[in-house]
Amino acid sequence: MEGWVGRPVMALRFARLLTVLAVSCTLGLSCATASAVAASGPALQAVSYAGYRFEVPASWPVISLAQQQQTCVRFDLHAVYLGTPGADESCPGWLLGTTEAILIQPAPAGMQRQSAENPVADEITASAPGIVVSATFDTDPAEIVQILASAGLPAPRLTAAPPAGRGGPARELTTSAAPVRAAAVASSPVPPPELPATVANDVGLGFDTCTAPSSGAMQAWLLHSPYRAVGIYIGGAERACDQPNLTAAWVREQAAAGWRFIPMYAGPQAALGQLTSPAQQGAADADDAVTQAQGLGFGPGTPLYYDMESYPPDEAGAVIAFLAAWTIQLHHLGYDAGVYASSDSGVADLAQSYASGSDATPDVIFDALWNGEANTSDSHYLPGEWTGGRRLHQFSGNASESFGGATMVIDQDYLDVTLPVVGGTAQASSAVVTPKGSTAVFYASPAHQLIEESASGASAWTPTDLGGDVIGAPSVVEVGSSTLDVFYLGGDGDLFEVTSSGAGWLPAQPVSQLGQAGVPEAVAQPNGVIDVFWRGTQDASLWLAQYDPGLGWAGPQDLGGTVDGLPDPVEQPSGQVQVFWRGAVYGSLWRVVRGSAGTWSSPQDLGMGVLGGQPEAIALPTGEIDVFWRGLGQRYVWSTVLLPGASPADPTVPGGSAGVGQPWPALAAGGEWLLFEGHFGGLRVTTKAANGAWPAALPVAGISGLASAPFAAAGSESGPLAVFWIGLGGQLWTAELTGAAGWSVPVALG
């Protein structure tokens, strides 16, 4: 919705200036009898549905949804809607605002009698056997409460409480550890994690509409339209349209299909004089927006956009105070802040506030400027404001478009949103390079104690003894901007976790409820969700445990298969996870996949012949996954490429690479690298060219005496390539490649 001038903005309370009958006829709604809508009718009318009798104002139209499935259920007009809303409602794109309105739907006979009020969203929900009611109100819920009481439904209780904070440095280690460790436990399903914030990043065309479209319409538009992002109204007291399609399952389904999202929240409006306590209201709406976002599966870091429609100049101070509080509270709760605003009011005022630096400003701006230009330019922006992938532009509105047989009334948007996503570890490794540039590696000492060695830039490596009783190699992931989590298998068969939040290392904690585990391999999303995989000790199948900051530990879940060696997981930018392993029976390449829908596939044999060792994979920002392994009975390194939606490519020998030991791919130093031990114990490397070809691997001068396969620290493409290996004397060595300085001199660690 755009503009204080030049568009039919906000039905809001202005629609009340129209007669209900005229509005109903304009919309083509199926109205009740003339006595129900005539101004001369009785003060109240009786409405019966599913055995319940409601007394509602006689002036309200009573609309049967069964008769017109495309009727738009609007909460900006007084009305009673009976029945289940259709999946493809025909709603105008510009609706915003709520008043007293009621939707009464059928429900199971066993539905509980209950009622609840959300005073932030101005919503009341009620249910009883065979019926469920959704209602909105303007400033006083008394009229809705009276209507519910007339049907014998209970009075609502207040439910709007702020969500749990996510912004603190401390992280709960375990939530349900069993008091006594069991040698083996039954498989326990792991719930799908929240979607990563990357589902809100996109560059290109998008659209927004009053009510979330049906899955059929979304699929048709994905196949036939130029749009790839969709704006959805997740909540707010001024959200005018019913949302029968907008569920967590719908969001995951669209994310899995490839859609990106603009989550919008429509709360109090300055144009209507509703910002009476701006700071308190902004914080309260941020709390509710996070609650709604979490309910739909949007994880921390996702930008949530406040819809602040155009307003007169004398409201500017209240708007800036409100949006500053919105931004601060969203940051406290771990989410990014976005604002949708009209160019000549909200955007202009925010641009001035940005320049002065006196108030908190949003991370990303959604500019409503209907000039027909699919770009992110606006004369109100001062140089440097919201640059670097932090702008959206709604360039047209209320347009009716059809693709693949699906017609929608939309506002048209152009996105340039590439907000940085901090933390997360896409590749399982014993070492990590943090966004701050420091490198940390973890290993077991000869006495099986966990040792950390870290360095930053040109500083010396510093060892720290973390104790414990470590079996096999540990696995480390980064969560957020300062937290490291290290997982290792203890001598008693427990999985252990050690955490540092920047203020020192906490004591190791056993994750005892998982039973006896294997050597862990872990990856993590930036939103704090950690997936840990291992080969089962009893059945050699692939097992999973998951840590979610809001839920604690879940699992273990048996994902099936028969694993030879260690599994190798990778985390894709979309939040999908793929795990690869060498099959224990025929030695071929196997995998399982957790898609955006949150469910795991069955184990899949990718073939590729007989592998000579365990696979090592890397996930690229494009969605491509490259998998490498050593051939059987030969010294060649083999590879396959997996592109989204395509079958695995036939195996090739990248760059004619030949050596001994395991290969290791890495994303660092500006590209994708492949490392392996060459003949005579040297380190060989090659990097993928822009055309996708791999040149011949060359030895690295000054690095020799490898007694093990090398491995690299997990990190970003822009970070250094930090490589580690065991030398002939049994010590751990490291060297680093940066674009400017080349390879560093090898350094002996522990």
Kindly report the average pLDDT of the chain as a whole number.
Answer: 87
Indicate if 224 and 341 belong to the same structural domain: yes
Q: Has residue 234 been placed in a domain?
A: no
Indicate if 112 and 217 belong to the same structural domain: no
Q: What is the pLDDT of residues 521-565, one digit of tens each?
A: 999 988 889 999 999 988 899 999 999 877 789 989 999 999 999
Find the distance separating the first CA and the last CA of the chain, reported in whole Å.
61
| Confidence at residue 655, expressed as pLDDT on a 0 to 100 scale | 77
Q: From CA 247, how far away is CA 65, in angstroms rounded?
A: 20
- Given a contact cutoff of 8 angstroms between Cβ atoms, the answer to whether 243 and 211 are in contact is yes
For residues 719-745, average pLDDT: 90
Q: Give percent of the chain above pLDDT 90.
A: 67
Indicate if 152 and 266 belong to the same structural domain: no
Residue 615 vs residue 166, higher pLDDT: 615
| Confidence at residue 161, expressed as pLDDT on a 0 to 100 scale | 55
Phi and psi torsions of 20, nearest 5°: -60, -35
Indicate if 278 and 401 belong to the same structural domain: yes
Last residue of a domain, one of 379, 400, 417: 417
Q: What is the pLDDT of residues 685-695, one digit of tens each?
A: 999 999 989 99
Indicate if 369 and 220 belong to the same structural domain: yes
| Domain around 54 | 12-158
pLDDT band at 184 (very low <50, low <70, confident <90, very high): low
Q: Has residue 428 been placed in a domain?
A: no
For residues 330-347, average pLDDT: 96
Q: Has residue 268 been placed in a domain?
A: yes
Judge whether residue 164 has pLDDT over 70.
no
| Confidence at residue 440, expressed as pLDDT on a 0 to 100 scale | 94
Q: Give percent of the chain above pLDDT 70.
A: 90
Indicate if 103 and 214 belong to the same structural domain: no
| Confidence at residue 28, expressed as pLDDT on a 0 to 100 scale | 35
pLDDT band at 67 (very low <50, low <70, confident <90, very high): confident
Q: Has residue 393 been placed in a domain?
A: yes
Indicate if 360 and 264 belong to the same structural domain: yes
Judge whether residue 414 has pLDDT over 80.
yes
Q: H or E segment at 328?
A: helix 316-332
For residues 476-489, average pLDDT: 90
For residues 412-426, average pLDDT: 91
Judge whether residue 8 has pLDDT over 50.
no
Q: Has residue 549 been placed in a domain?
A: no
Indicate if 202 and 71 belong to the same structural domain: no
CA distances from 129 to 51, 135, 152 (A): 10, 18, 12
Judge whether residue 180 has pLDDT over 60.
no
Question: Residue 403 is part of a domain; what is its CATH number?
Answer: 3.20.20.80
Indicate if 88 and 26 belong to the same structural domain: yes
Amino acid at the residue 621: P
Q: What is the largest CA-CA distance in the chain?
A: 99
| Confidence at residue 243, expressed as pLDDT on a 0 to 100 scale | 94
Token representation of residue 690:
């822009």
Q: What is the pLDDT of residues 731-740, one digit of tens each?
A: 999 999 987 6
Judge whether residue 357 has pLDDT over 90.
no
Phi-psi region of 669 (alpha: psi -120 to 50; beta: other; left: phi over 0): left
Q: What own/partner pairs with CB < 8 Å and gap ≥ 24 does 65-71 have?
A: 67/30, 68/28, 68/29, 68/30, 71/27, 71/29, 71/30
- Give the number of domains in the chain: 3
Q: What is the pLDDT of residues 196-211, one digit of tens each?
A: 898 999 999 999 999 9
**Single pTM value for the model:** 0.80
| Confidence at residue 486, expressed as pLDDT on a 0 to 100 scale | 96
Strand partners, 475: 487
Q: Has residue 132 been placed in a domain?
A: yes
Last residue of a domain, one of 396, 417, 438: 417
| Confidence at residue 6, expressed as pLDDT on a 0 to 100 scale | 31
Indicate if 133 and 201 belong to the same structural domain: no
- Give DSSP secondary structure letters for 695-715: PPPEEPTT---B-S--EE-B-
For residues 57-80, average pLDDT: 90
pLDDT band at 68 (very low <50, low <70, confident <90, very high): confident
Q: Has residue 471 been placed in a domain?
A: no
Task: Give the least confident one: 1-10, 84-93, 683-692.
Answer: 1-10
Q: What is the pLDDT of residues 628-667, one digit of tens each?
A: 999 887 678 999 999 987 899 999 998 777 666 789 999 9
For residues 667-676, average pLDDT: 93
Last residue of a domain, one of 158, 183, 206: 158
Q: What is the pLDDT of residues 266-300, one digit of tens each?
A: 999 999 999 999 999 999 999 999 999 999 999 88
Indicate if 150 and 259 belong to the same structural domain: no
- Given a contact cutoff of 8 angstroms between Cβ atoms, the answer to whether 371 and 395 are in contact is yes
Indicate if 94 and 222 belong to the same structural domain: no
Q: Has residue 390 been placed in a domain?
A: yes
| Strands of 157-158's sheet in order across | 62-64, 80-82, 101-106, 131-136, 123-128, 114-118, 157-158
Residue 15 vs residue 490, higher pLDDT: 490
| Confidence at residue 238, expressed as pLDDT on a 0 to 100 scale | 94
